[in-house]
Structure 1
Amino acid sequence: MLSKGTSKHYSVLFVLPAFILFSLFFILPNLSGFVMAFTDWSSYYPLSPGFNGWRNFQDLFASPVFATAVRNTIYFTAVTTAFKIVFGFLMAIILNNGVKFKNTYRTIVFAPFVFNPLVIAYVFSALYQPDYGPVNTFLRFVGLDFMAQHWLTDVKYAMLAICVMDIWISIGAIIVIFLTGLQSVPQEFYEAATVDGAGGFQKFVHITLPLTIYSLSINTILCLIGGAKVFGQVYGLTNGGPADATQVYGTFIFKSFSSGLFGYSAAAGLLFTVVISLVSFLTLYLFRRLEVEY
């Protein structure tokens, strides 16, 4: 039996351990990173960091490698988000209909999502191997030799090759969320539309799309955040090469921190957090205005 005083604060005591861990490994590091972003703290002077104002941010915007990382991150996010949303929605519609073995298909498409991206990157590095890799071997076998490329060492194709791998990894989770949204739409709406003579396209535009905006907004935000914070895929396949052609924001911060530039990398991380937060809230706001009550 708990004492009267203990039972009164039982809910607080229940969440206290989780709150301590959350504070220790999330709140405290983020607050520390915010302070570090305005210092010159580095491995060269680890015990005597000094306040340098906006100098780190000025150095970031003056860095050509940082500019390349930003461009590549935007490219990666745009390509993967567009393909995941469009193809994922179509696949969800197909799997939501009367397809044989649809549960098996759902398991297959979701399976890659549970693996670590870094592990999958090593697998894809073998698939993309220019001389004996399965991708080029298949292209040569079907007579498409001109399409066989040095996927990870050619600056024209390296970023695209990483995008393909990322789409394969995470599109399963996107499909599952879309399926949840599709299955929440009452069938009575489709039946009433059929009675009124509506075709498949009209049902999609006036019923399916408006009533799945919530799942569409969730998937879009997840894709934007996931694309912006990409790291394992790039680090495992190219480590930002060749010649920084696949350098992204995550690898840029990692390399800056690994070089001992703690304040500089903290500034990059803070800028990343602010931009992602703004984009996420703006996207959520726009989609919320399109949601339909039913």
Structure 2
Amino acid sequence: MSRKKIYSKWFAAPALIFFSLFFILPNLFGLVFAFTDWSIFYVGFDQVNFIGLDNFKQLFSERLLLKAAGNTFYFAIVTVVFKNVIGLALALLVNRPFKTKNYLRSVFFLPSILSTMVVAIVFSAIYNPQSGILNGFLNNVGLGFLAQEWLTNPKIAMTSICAMEIWQGTGLTMLIYLAGLQTVPKEYYESADLDGTTGFQKFRYITVPLILPTFTVNITLTLINGLKVFGQVYALTSGGPADATQVFQTFVYKYFSQGLLGYSSAAGLVFTVVIMVVSLTLTSVMRKKEVSY
């Protein structure tokens, strides 16, 4: 074996070891323990009993699971739609030639590099019904009737969390769309101008078909991130009020923190399968759209 091939394997080894220890092995253990009554109250593994599908039977009989599933898909759909629509609009804006475009790109992207917990702390203050700037602004401009208890009202708490995620995550979506827009040859637009096409026609028949791979990447990433939501909900509401904002991840964490490790592993396994099925199906559909163009 040549020295170059050996070097490449050694450079890849640390990443593979890290990935195996902190991703592959935990998932394999979780797959096994999902079919057991493993609990934190057991001293050794010799006390763990194989119980077959009992965890899954109990899991699918819980009404809270349906609530968590509904909230998770609601969060995912809302954030996917708004992050992609706003992100594309911002990308189209900052792709135009004007002096402050680089400054605006940085401003729009900045929230994406902030910690979710830091953003959640800031939005907790913004959403505060008594001293928060959101209700304060509404009251000062004569729209006090729109003031709400943003995180304690079960009807709007989930939407409030979605708004925070949209504000934080749209910058990254914009950046990916911007990269796609900059790959479109300018000659296509110049030829379209000679033919007298409108701006919308150029967007519909030139821009969209040529950046479809970017749509695939952005929609897939935002959907997976939406389905994996945890930190936003945990930091703002911890699943409350009255389980109104429970999602898949907080559902799993709830039972894991109670020491029901086998049961939480079963819930995590179901959650993993759902993400895989949804993401693979979406990617397949989007890829076919790319080919059709």
User: For the superposition of Structure 1 and Structure 2, which TM-score range results when normalised by the shorter chain?
Assistant: over 0.9
Taking the aligned partners of 1:50 and 1:211, their CA distance within structure 2 comes to 55
Taking the aligned partners of 1:229 and 1:25, their CA distance within structure 2 comes to 17
Taking the aligned partners of 1:107 and 1:150, their CA distance within structure 2 comes to 32
The CA RMSD measured in Å over matched residues stands at 1.7
Task: Report the counterpart of residue 267 of structure 2 in structure 1.
Answer: 268
Cα contact 1:210–1:292 (8 A) shared by 2: no
Task: Report the counterpart of residue 287 of structure 2 in structure 1.
Answer: 288
Taking the aligned partners of 1:100 and 1:241, their CA distance within structure 2 comes to 46
Q: Which segments of 5 or more consecutive residues in structure 1 lack a partner in the other structure?
A: none
Taking the aligned partners of 2:274 and 2:218, their CA distance within structure 1 comes to 18
Cα contact 1:210–1:290 (8 A) shared by 2: no
Cα contact 1:69–1:246 (8 A) shared by 2: yes
- Structure 1's 5 and 287: CA in aligned 2 closer, same or farther, altered over 3 A? closer
The alpha carbon displacement at 1:46 in A equals 4.5
Taking the aligned partners of 2:100 and 2:21, their CA distance within structure 1 comes to 46
The alpha carbon displacement at 1:8 in A equals 6.3
TM-score by length of 1: 0.95
Are residues 1:18 and 2:15 paired? yes
Cα contact 1:39–1:52 (8 A) shared by 2: yes
What's the secondary structure of 1:291's corresponding residue? helix
Are residues 1:56 and 2:37 paired? no
The alpha carbon displacement at 1:256 in A equals 1.1
Taking the aligned partners of 2:168 and 2:15, their CA distance within structure 1 comes to 31
Taking the aligned partners of 1:168 and 1:6, their CA distance within structure 2 comes to 49
- Structure 1's 215 and 5: CA in aligned 2 closer, same or farther, altered over 3 A? closer
Cα contact 1:211–1:292 (8 A) shared by 2: no
Task: Report the counterpart of residue 164 of structure 1 in structure 2.
Answer: 163
Task: Report the counterpart of residue 186 of structure 2 in structure 1.
Answer: 187
Taking the aligned partners of 1:123 and 1:9, their CA distance within structure 2 comes to 49
The alpha carbon displacement at 1:13 in A equals 3.0
Task: Report the counterpart of residue 176 of structure 1 in structure 2.
Answer: 175
Q: Which segments of 5 or more consecutive residues in structure 2 lack a partner in the other structure?
A: none
Deviations 1:20-60 (A, max 9, x none): 22211111111111111111111233521111111111111
Taking the aligned partners of 2:174 and 2:56, their CA distance within structure 1 comes to 39
AA at the equivalent of 2:67: T
Are residues 1:32 and 2:29 paired? yes
Task: Report the counterpart of residue 214 of structure 2 in structure 1.
Answer: 215
AA at the equivalent of 2:161: I
Deviations 1:62-103 (A, max 9, x none): 111111111100111111111111111111111111233111
Deviations 1:164-205 (A, max 9, x none): 000011100000000000011011111111112211111111
TM-score by length of 2: 0.95
- Structure 1's 141 and 94: CA in aligned 2 closer, same or farther, altered over 3 A? same
The alpha carbon displacement at 1:11 in A equals 3.1
Aligned residues: 291
AA at the equivalent of 1:24: L
Residues 125-274 of structure 1: matches in 2 within 5 Å?
125-274=124-273
Taking the aligned partners of 1:14 and 1:6, their CA distance within structure 2 comes to 12
Taking the aligned partners of 1:211 and 1:293, their CA distance within structure 2 comes to 12
The alpha carbon displacement at 1:279 in A equals 1.3
Q: Which residue of 39, 42, 47 maps to 1:45?
A: 42
Q: Percent identity?
A: 52
Taking the aligned partners of 1:293 and 1:191, their CA distance within structure 2 comes to 25
Taking the aligned partners of 2:197 and 2:277, their CA distance within structure 1 comes to 40
AA at the equivalent of 1:41: W
